[in-house]
Chains A and B, each alone.
Chain A
């Protein structure tokens, strides 16, 4: 009996003609139709998806580069403009593929312990990065925060600083990169490649080549959590904790 079950379990019906064939068969032996892998997505035009992702990334590059490096834009009004523009880009690309992206916003198996564990990991990572960067004596650490030091000094400014460096990046970078971009690339490439591309692109968009050494692992971690859990929210909270810790270090001047 056991052999019988095992035998049935190793067979499946052909996609086309329905005759029973071995599970790992590539082509049906009675009709010759190619069998799809169980994980293989039915994607008609991968190149179109790559171009779409490219457009998203190009817009993000231009916005980030102008925000970080053009002196005329280093005022609160312009910063607000760039934050809003980046948010709109992330949200609109995410919404463009709404049908396949909406399930990422669900938080089906919410687990408080898991959330705490992930957040603790992010805080620990942030502390490690802060001290290792201090040890490396690299002045390029978080250019963004250096640019925004004019917000320091009064309570409203500090609240704005937390909002701009911890809340909005956590939400909209996750939405744009782990949400839209990763989901789009998963349809084009296999999981490791999509994960790597997203993480690398996320790391280099920060435009500080020295901080790549911690941005790439951090982005890989966020991407892996997003793929494992199937929801964006763990990543959003981890990202928030990471940036918030860095922000607190900056405000306290440690």
Chain B
């Protein structure tokens, strides 16, 4: 019976692409798919593809970071508006009705921003939708609001959409190449 237990082959070398231990009789690395027994051309092509993927990934990470930063920026803006409206309407008894929602908004954007590195898709989608709802509410209460700072608004939305797109692509690349 003991003969039936296969003895593991001795680890012979490390994969040239991802430095995982590979076995002597593996034709491909089991961690990254590197053609261990392939021709030199195959191996070079693989390495080039993999480093291309890494470059793309760092670009996507960069876009995600920018989108996350715009969430922080929004948080700051809402804190600022909350402070201004608090000091402007200090004597008004209904001031908390304005300030509390603003503070909640700022806190939401802050939380979403701080988790946007870990869970980019969830945070960026949520942040974008929250931002759009706020803008729709502002526009409904007074249509002129829509036009004020329109360039900033578009910039923020573009950053966020790019971030969401990058998060999707990043996941795909990570899975395909088993990096990170």
Listed in ascending order, the chain A residues whose CB lies under 8 Å from chain B are 1, 3-4, 7, 21-22, 25-34, 40, 46-47, 50, 57-58, 61-62, 65-66, 69-70, 139-140, 188-189, 192-193, 196-197, 200-201, 204-205, 207, 209-210, 212
In the assembled complex, the CB of A201 is this many whole angstroms from the nearest CB of chain B, namely 5
Give the CA-CA distance A50 to B160 in the complex, in Å. 13
Does B155 have its Cβ within 8 Å of any Cβ on chain A? no
Give the CA-CA distance A204 to B137 in the complex, in Å. 12
Does B4 have its Cβ within 8 Å of any Cβ on chain A? yes
Partner of B32, one of A1, A26, A40, A209: A26
Inter-chain contact B129/A57, CB cutoff 8 Å: yes
Task: Report chain A residues within 8 Å CB of B83.
Answer: none
Inter-chain contact A29/B121, CB cutoff 8 Å: no
Interface size for B (C-beta < 8 A) is 41
Give the CA-CA distance A70 to B140 in the complex, in Å. 7
Task: Report chain A residues within 8 Å CB of B84.
Answer: none
Closest to B31 in A: A26
Partner of A205, one of B25, B104, B122, B133: B133
Task: Report chain B residues within 8 Å CB of A7.
Answer: 5-6
Give the CA-CA distance A201 to B35 in the complex, in Å. 45
Inter-chain contact A3/B5, CB cutoff 8 Å: yes
In the assembled complex, the CB of B35 is this many whole angstroms from the nearest CB of chain A, namely 6
Q: Mark B130-158, 1 if CB is under 8 A from A, else 0.
A: 10110011001100000000000000000
Does B33 have its Cβ within 8 Å of any Cβ on chain A? yes
Excluding A3-B5, A27-B28, 16 further A-B contacts by CB distance (< 8 Å) are A1-B1, A3-B4, A4-B4, A26-B32, A28-B28, A34-B178, A46-B172, A50-B168, A65-B136, A65-B137, A69-B137, A139-B97, A192-B122, A197-B126, A200-B130, A212-B108
Give the CA-CA distance A50 to B122 in the complex, in Å. 12
Closest to A1 in B: B1
